[in-house]
Amino acid sequence: MKSLIVVLFVSLALAGNLYAEEKKHEAKHEAKHEAPAEQNQCIGAGPQSPRDIDSKAGSNKVIFNAAPSIKDMNLCNVHFHRNAEHKAAAYSTYVEDGSNSGWACKEPAAGRLSEKHAEYKGCEGVAEGDTIEVHWVHTTCDINTHGVKPLGGGLNACMTTMCPNPELRVVAQVYVLEKNGKVKFTEKAPVSHKDPTVVYTGSTTGTSWNNHHCSPLQVTWDVKTTCDTLDIDDFSKWCSDNKYHEKHAHGVRELVTSEKLLSKIPK
C-alpha cells in the first residue's frame, strides 16, 4: 500500500512538471508571435521616417492631411545629416559609420571613416566627398511677428507657447560635397529644380527615434530623388555661421522598413 502511494505521488509530481513545462512553452510561443510593446507604441504613433522613397508600400492606419505648400508656411530651421537618412536609387550605397550610418551617392574616400573628428573650415563632421542630406523645416506657426518667441532651438524653433502643435513640412535634398560643386547653397529656400520629388506623410527623424521608439510628430516630406554636387566651400561658409546655429552634421535615424510603420505613397 505504501509503495502504491509513493508511485501515485511520483506520477502526480511528473504530471505537474509536464503541465508546467507545457504552459511555459506556450507562453514562449505566444510571446514570440506577439508584437513587442515598443512596436505597438510605434504603430500607434503614426507613419514614420526616413524610408526608401522608391518603394510606395505602406499600411500604417494613421492618416493625416498633408501640410500646406511651403510658400504658405514659415521656414523655422535648416540642418543637415552626414549620409542620407532617406534611400533612393541615386543614393543607395550604404555607409556604416556609427551614429551616422546611412546612404550615400558614392563610396566614401579611402580612410574617410577612420577620421574621428572631421571638420571643414568650421563645419563640423564633414569632409570633401561626403554625402549629406539637408532639411529645410517649415511650420504653420507664426514665428516671424515681432515679440513672438519660439520654444528653443532645433525643432523647438518651429513651435511657440501659443502654437505647440504645428503642421510641419520638410524639404529634403541629398548632395555630395565637392570642390567647385555645381550647386551653391542657400538657407532661404531649397535649390529650385525640375528633378522628381517624392511627397509622403511621415515623422521627424534623427537619432532620438528608432523602429522601437517612434516619433509622435506628423510631418509632410518632399524628398528629392536625385543627387547633386554641392560646393563645399560655399556650404561651409553657411555651416560655420548661420542663424540656426547648425554647425555640425546630425546623426542618422535607421531606415524604416516595416510597412506597418509607413504610409502608402500615392502613385
- The pTM of the full predicted model, rounded to 2 decimals, is 0.84
* pLDDT tens-digit series, residues 221-251: 999 999 999 999 999 999 999 999 999 999 9
> What's the confidence (pLDDT) of residue 40?
62
* pLDDT tens-digit series, residues 38-61: 456 786 889 999 999 999 999 999
Mean pLDDT to the nearest integer, 62-75: 95
Give the end-to-end CA distance of the chain in Å, rounded to a whole number.
81
> What's the confidence (pLDDT) of residue 36?
55
* pLDDT tens-digit series, residues 12-42: 343 444 344 444 444 443 444 344 554 567 8
With b for 16 or more beta-carbon neighbours within 10 A and e for fewer, the 207-239 pattern comes to eebebeebbebbbbbbbbbbbbebbbbbbbebb
Q: What is the mean pLDDT of the chain?
A: 86
**Could you tell me which residues come within 8 angstroms of residue 164 by beta carbon, excluding any fewer than 6 positions away?**
151
* pLDDT tens-digit series, residues 173-220: 999 999 999 999 988 777 766 788 999 999 999 999 999 999 999 999
By DSSP bridging, strand 197-202 and strand 74-82 are unpaired
Mean pLDDT to the nearest integer, 130-154: 94
> What's the confidence (pLDDT) of residue 147?
86
Lowest mean pLDDT among 41-50, 66-75, 90-99, 136-145: 41-50
> What's the confidence (pLDDT) of residue 112?
84
pLDDT at residue 158 tops 70 = yes
> What's the confidence (pLDDT) of residue 79?
97
